[in-house]
Amino acid sequence: MDEPVRTRPWTFGAALSVDAIGSVEREYVSRVLDKRRVFRYTRDGIHDSEAAALEDVYRKRLGVRHCLAVNGGTSALVCALVAAGIGPGDEVVIPSYTYIATASAVILAGAVPVIVDIDETLTIDPKALENSITKHTKAVIPVHMRGVPCQMDEISTIAARHGLIVIEDAAQANGGSYHGRPLGSFGHLGCFSFQQYKIVTAGEGGLVATNDDHLFERACVYHDGAFAMWDTGTGGEVETFPGQNYRISEISAAVALAQSQRLDDLLARLRRNKAHIIEALATVDGIELQPIPDPAGDVAYSLILFLPVNADIRAFSERLAWEGIPNGTVYNKGFPDRHIFTNWDYVLAKRGVSPTNNPWTSPYYHGNIDYPPDLCQTSLDLLGRAIQINLHQDMDSTDCADIVTAIRRTARRVSARPSTAPSPGTMP
C-alpha cells in the first residue's frame, strides 16, 4: 500500500487575514478604546477618525479621488448601486459564480439581476455579458472571483459601447490588479469587503471607491440617513434623500487599517507560493490549470484546476485528500455553495422582500428576465470539473512541493483507475 505524500497535519485555514492578527491590531483597537470614541462622526475631530485614515489608505492604494468605509461588502454594493441611480425598472448583469450578496444587493436596490455565464477564468464571460444586454440594462457587476482579475479591458469596452455603469465587486480581490492597475479602480465604482474570510478583515466591513464626485456624495448620503448633519466637508451639492445605517465603527476601521498595512507583504508571499506551484504543474497530464487574465495581478490564495469532461472528479478529490492535501470540488450535489447561482433560492424564485417590494413585479419593470432550469450550463460544466485548493501565506517550499507531488500522483493514479469513487482511508 502506498504512503500518502503528506503525513504532517495541514494547519492552514481559509481565513488568511485572521491568522495574521497580531500586535498592530491590538495597538490600534486600544487606541480607539483609549480615546473613548467608537463612532466616527463626533464633533471632536471628524476628519481624524480611524475610518477616515482607512479611507485615505485606499484612496492612495487605488489611485482614486474618493473612498467611503461602510459596515460590509454587501452594504458597499448597495451604496454603489443607489449612488449610480440603479433601481426599479433596471436590469443589472452579474456572473453566475459569485457570492449571493452580489445578487442580493441588486434586489435590495430594486433592480432585477441578470445572471450570465462565466468562462474558463471563472469570471464573467465578456461575450455572455454583451449577449445579455437589453434596453433595460443599466449596469454590470464584474466580480474578481477568488482573487482572479476579470477581463476588464473587454468588459469596459462593452460597457462603454452600451452606456452601462460598471460596479466592480472586488470583495475577494483586495490588492489584486489588472495590467498594473488596481482592481476596484476600473469601474465607475469599486466595492470591497473586510469580512472574516477576506484578504483584509475587520470581522465585518466594506468600502466604496470612485473617481466621480457626484457618485461619492450620493453613496455618502445613502450610507447614513443623517449624513447631512455631520460636518464632513464633502461639498453637500447632492440633494439629500433617505439613507440606511451602513456606517463602519471605529473599532472595525482600526482593525482593517492595521490589516491593510501588511497587505503587500501577505500578497507577495501568496504570489510567490502560487508561482512555484503553477510552474511545477505546467507539464502534468490530465489536468488543466485555471487561466488567469493577468497572472501578475492574481491575489493568489486559490489554486483551481480542471479535470477532463469524463473524469471522476470525486475520486480525484478524495485521492488528493488522502494524499494529505485538503481540497474541494467547486460544484457538486452536496454542500449548497452560495457562490453558485443554482443555490440562490430566492433569486431563482423571483422572491422579493415582500409581495409589493419585488423588482420582478414592479410596475416600473417592463423586461422579461427568467431563470430557466438550463440557465448557465457552461458555468455548471466548468464548476463541475473544478478542484480548488486554498493557499496560505505561511506555506513554505515543502508545503508547495507536497501540493505538486500530490497532484501529480493523483492525476496519474485516478486517470488509470475505473471511474468509481474510492473509499476514504483505503487508497490503493
d(CA 388, CA 290): 10
For the chain, the C-alpha Rg in angstroms (whole number) is 22
Whether the CB-CB separation of 78 and 68 falls below 8 Å is answered with no
Q: How many CB atoms lie within 10 A of CB 27?
A: 11
Whether the CB-CB separation of 400 and 10 falls below 8 Å is answered with no
Q: Are strands 288-289 and 302-306 parallel, antiparallel or unpaired?
A: antiparallel
Q: Write out the DSSP string of 286-333.
A: T-EEPP-S-GGG----EEEEE--TTS-HHHHHHHHHHTT---EESS-S
Q: Which of 60, 129, 127 is nearest to 91 (CA)?
A: 129
Annotated catalytic, 60? Answer: no
Q: Which of 336, 318, 326 is nearest to 420 (CA)?
A: 318
d(CA 187, CA 167): 5
Whether the CB-CB separation of 17 and 392 falls below 8 Å is answered with no
Q: Catalytic pick from 127, 138, 198, 333? A: 198
Q: Which residues are catalytic?
A: 198
